[in-house]
Amino acid sequence: ADLIAHSKSIAKHLYENSNHPKIKGGELYVVHIQNCLLEGEPTEAIGIFKSENKNTFLDITAENGDFSITSAEGIHIKNLDKGCIIFNTEKEDGYVLNVIDNTNKGSDAKFWFDHFLHVKQREDAYYQTSSVMQIAKEFITKKLPKEFAADKADQAEMLNKSASYFKEQDHFDLSEFANVVIQQPDIMDSFHDFTTSYQKERAISIPENFALNETAINKKKGVFKSVIKLDKNFSVYVHGDRNKIERGQDESGRKFYTLWYDEEK
């Protein structure tokens, strides 16, 4: 009875927050889940799911040597539109949730995350690791070329150093990262300023020291991929020694890269 009453309240709250023209109608499901595992520990949970799109399914039956085909509409269980599982843990901090929205991206997703659920990112090791990797990537690819005129080869070198740091370390230290990856004092100062501004603009707080999360590293390692794209003709993948690639320009103004190598494969 309590689940039904609360489900009605949830449905009403969803309806009141669904006035955006891009928000689709659909069906709402509220379920009580027992023995749900969170980080290996069993707990209770509440699931809130919204389906906005239906798929056509074919049902083939055999009878007396003949086959009949009928079609029906249903929900594809592998393509959930919107969902939220609220785990009965960490109540004092607002509960732990798993949330997904496969139909809206960017600002359109704010309806489900912000207006309906009122959730924020859990600031755990996964979040902290993902955030510092993104900060490093954006500093190298956006701030570095503007402030220090770093070319693509310089950026590639620093991206590779960043990738190696996160691969080899199990603990993040902001000052150590700057010393190992950036090295130059003026660029290190700029990186510290960029890190502070990045957090302030997004109203987040990331500690300067924390244990790195391996899952986040494996998922985000692609942000450090260093590729130099030359017009539409070539893509140069840089994996190592910066001293073996040199950028230049001839007398006619045409740009070129010189590469040194020992073996061709």
Please check whether residue 170 lies inside any domain of the structure: yes
Structural domains in the chain (count): 2
> Do 228 and 144 fall into the same domain?
yes
| Burial of 24 from C-beta contacts in 10 A (0-12 / 13-18 / 19+) | middle
> Do 183 and 104 fall into the same domain?
no
> Do 154 and 89 fall into the same domain?
no
DSSP 129: H
Predicted model pTM: 0.69
Domain boundary among 86, 116, 146: 116
> Do 246 and 144 fall into the same domain?
yes
Residue 71 contacts residue 59 (beta carbons within 8 Å): yes
| Closest by CA position to 74, among listed 89, 56, 86, 87 | 56
Sequential pLDDT tens for the chain (265 residues): 588 899 999 999 988 887 777 778 888 899 999 998 888 889 999 999 998 888 888 889 888 888 899 998 888 877 788 899 999 988 888 889 988 888 777 656 678 888 888 888 888 899 999 999 999 999 999 999 999 988 888 898 899 999 999 999 999 999 999 999 999 999 999 999 999 999 999 888 999 999 999 999 999 988 998 888 888 888 888 877 777 888 888 889 898 888 888 888 7
Angle at 74 between CA 68 and CA 78, to 5 degrees: 115
Q: Which residues of 116-146 are buried (b: 16+ CB within 10 A; e: fewer)?
A: bbeeeeeeeebebbbbbbebbbebbbebbee
CA distance 64 to 242: 73
Domain boundary among 95, 116, 137: 116
Please check whether residue 145 lies inside any domain of the structure: yes
> Do 131 and 243 fall into the same domain?
yes
Please check whether residue 69 lies inside any domain of the structure: no
> Do 108 and 225 fall into the same domain?
no
- Give the domain range for residue 212: 125-259
Please check whether residue 70 lies inside any domain of the structure: no
> Do 88 and 213 fall into the same domain?
no
Please check whether residue 182 lies inside any domain of the structure: yes
| Closest by CA position to 217, among listed 149, 124, 132, 157 | 132
